[in-house]
A = this chain, B = another copy of it.
Amino acid sequence: MNNFEFFNPVKIIFGNGQIAKLNDELKGFQTIMVTYGSGSIKRNGVYEKVMAQLHDKMVIEFGGIEPNPKYETLIKAVEVGRERGVEFILAVGGGSVIDGTKFIAAAIPFHDGEPWNIVSKGIKVEESIPMGTVLTLPATGSEMNSGAVISRAATQEKYAFGSPVLFPKFSILDPTFTYSLPSNQVANGVVDAFAHILEQYLTYPTNSPIQDRFSESILKTLIDVGPKTIAQSDDYDLRANFMWSCTMALNGLISTGVPTDWATHMIGHELTAFFGLDHGVTLAIIYPALLSEMAEDKRAKLMQYGSRVWGLADNELVPANIIRITEDFFRSLGIKTRLSEHGIGFNNVKPIVERFASRGWRLGENRNIASDMVERILKRASEPYS
């Protein structure tokens, strides 16, 4: 096991009706900015439930945070927040709203040049406006971590950033708030959480059996409840277990003491930045291709994954077979796993390869994925599924 630090002070308030505790959690804060997305919370009743809890507060609404939240949008909330002296920001939504809110929370007190520097230059965030979340879309785990991913439309860039001061103070997770989600968003959430676990698990062994088994626990649960909760949106236990899976998949716990990969996410972010593909979709495209290219590096863990997670017998434990089963799981959720199926040819992705080449980044747990390997992965991802 590698040395590690683990710290996660987010208070999780989980279950049906727990929104009733929101007012208590906001004690001491008067001027609250409420952030949300396209307005689905106004159609499914969540907005009313949140506002009822804010009856004694000065509320400033900031809606319209888009999927893959954009700097251009968020900077407007930063201006409003500064002008109005916002004391607390409540994100009501999924990972995009929460990530965007983390940026707003960090940028309001940031006065060291343009706030985009936080994201693009990786400037350490030392101070932020306190925030909390009401989760409506299980997927990213942002409700229980201190990271975020922000895009800039003007430059087609998408970057991750984070800071220990950006943990939400609390997150309210009510599975019933997810009943009205479109099934494709739920499917994307299953893939996102699944990929988060693989990024922290499918590397090389470090004799960390608790972490391995925890990862396998969440993977097995997603395989079991994922397809069912897509099909049956109002089954409470299915939604609850899906929701808790997504949160546990990226809260720092399963990465303690083990190497992490994250190459699939880095490449996937570029597919979103260039072509606007949903985040979960980019992971479903890149992961099978990356595993195929990196199968030798990942051989030991790939075998463990095939055996323990998919229950494969010894004679079925062949990398290509294990990878195909993973890709077919994504496809069984209704997600296309090849670039060609999204109308993107190999020629279209060359700017991504060039971008990695010019950055000189080396990705993956062994830092051996340079732009030539990115090219091979994208080439493979652009081949037709057969």
Q: Which residues of A contact B (CB under 8 A)?
A: 1-18, 207-210, 213-214, 216-218, 220-221, 224-225, 237, 240-241, 244-245, 248, 253, 256-257
Knowing A1-B237, A217-B217, A240-B1, say if A210 contacts B245 (CB, 8 Å): yes
A9: chain B residues at CB < 8 Å are: 7-9
CA distance A202 to B151 in the complex (A): 47
Judging by beta carbons under 8 Å apart, are B14 and A207 in contact?
no
Judging by beta carbons under 8 Å apart, are A6 and B15 in contact?
no
Task: Report the nearest B residue to A208, measured CB to CB.
Answer: B241
What are 21 contact pairs spanning A and B, CB under 8 A?
Answer: A1-B15, A1-B240, A1-B244, A3-B18, A4-B15, A6-B11, A6-B14, A7-B10, A8-B9, A9-B9, A15-B257, A207-B241, A208-B241, A210-B217, A210-B218, A210-B221, A210-B248, A213-B213, A213-B218, A216-B217, A253-B253
Judging by beta carbons under 8 Å apart, are A12 and B3 in contact?
no
Judging by beta carbons under 8 Å apart, are B3 and A17 in contact?
yes
Judging by beta carbons under 8 Å apart, are A225 and B241 in contact?
no
From B13, B18, B213, B241, A220 is in contact (CB under 8 Å) with B213
Task: Report the nearest B residue to A5, measured CB to CB.
Answer: B13
Knowing A14-B5, A210-B221, say if A257 contacts B244 (CB, 8 Å): yes
The A interface is mostly helix, strand or loop, or mixed, namely mixed
A240: chain B residues at CB < 8 Å are: 1, 257
A256: chain B residues at CB < 8 Å are: 12, 14, 244
Judging by beta carbons under 8 Å apart, are B11 and A4 in contact?
no
- Minimum CB–CB distance from A245 to chain B (whole Å) comes to 6
A1: chain B residues at CB < 8 Å are: 14-15, 237, 240-241, 244
CA distance A16 to B207 in the complex (A): 15
Task: Report the nearest B residue to A241, measured CB to CB.
Answer: B209
Judging by beta carbons under 8 Å apart, are A217 and B213 in contact?
yes
A18: chain B residues at CB < 8 Å are: 3
A207: chain B residues at CB < 8 Å are: 237, 241
- Minimum CB–CB distance from A248 to chain B (whole Å) comes to 6
Judging by beta carbons under 8 Å apart, are B209 and A213 in contact?
no
A248: chain B residues at CB < 8 Å are: 210
A210: chain B residues at CB < 8 Å are: 217-218, 221, 241, 244-245, 248
A257: chain B residues at CB < 8 Å are: 14-15, 240, 244
Task: Report the nearest B residue to A174, measured CB to CB.
Answer: B3
Can you add 14 more A-B contacts, CB < 8 Å, to A1-B241, A213-B217? Answer: A1-B237, A3-B14, A4-B15, A5-B12, A6-B12, A7-B11, A14-B257, A207-B237, A209-B220, A209-B221, A210-B248, A213-B213, A214-B214, A253-B253
Task: Report the nearest B residue to A16, measured CB to CB.
Answer: B3
CA distance A1 to B217 in the complex (A): 16
A7: chain B residues at CB < 8 Å are: 9-12
A221: chain B residues at CB < 8 Å are: 209-210, 213
CA distance A10 to B253 in the complex (A): 13
A16: chain B residues at CB < 8 Å are: 3
CA distance A208 to B224 in the complex (A): 12
Going nearest first, the 3 A-B pairs with the smallest beta carbon separation are A3-B15, A213-B217, A9-B9
